[in-house]
Amino acid sequence: MVKITSDTIFLQLFHDNIDDDKVLLKLLSAAKLKDLLIIFELCKNILVGNVPISTKTKNQLRNFEFDLIRLSKKSKQISQKVNILKKNSKLFRTLIEIGGNFIL
């Protein structure tokens, strides 16, 4: 039996509703810290280079380099990180696509 944690369930929900902004914002508002940790860890692994991503995706993420750094820091509050994701829906969608391809 495979154990599915809540963070992968939320990642699956994000990935399934990637085209609907309203649903993404509702899910983001309802998510708890343990549900969003997978996104924040993904940001850290992208910056370190542990996640294989295409050149096109790297170029998209260059515009959000400082936001990726802020999302990966453990010293930032969860509300600040959620606000970053809410403001930059394109960054959030790109992270969901990377996470969906890499983790799911």
Domain range list for the chain: 6-102
- pTM of the model as a whole: 0.85
Three-state SS sequence of 54-73: CHHHHHHHHCCHHHHHHHHC
Q: Using only C-alpha atoms, what is the Rg of the chain?
A: 13
Euclidean distance between CA atoms 102 and 89, whole angstroms: 20
Residue 5: predicted pLDDT: 60
Closest CA relative to residue 75, chosen from 29, 30, 40: 40
What is the pLDDT tens value at each position of the chain, 104 positions in all?
344 465 788 888 888 988 888 988 898 888 888 888 888 888 988 998 888 899 999 999 999 999 999 999 988 898 899 999 999 989 999 999 988 877 76
> Residue 37's Cα: distance from chain center in Å?
9
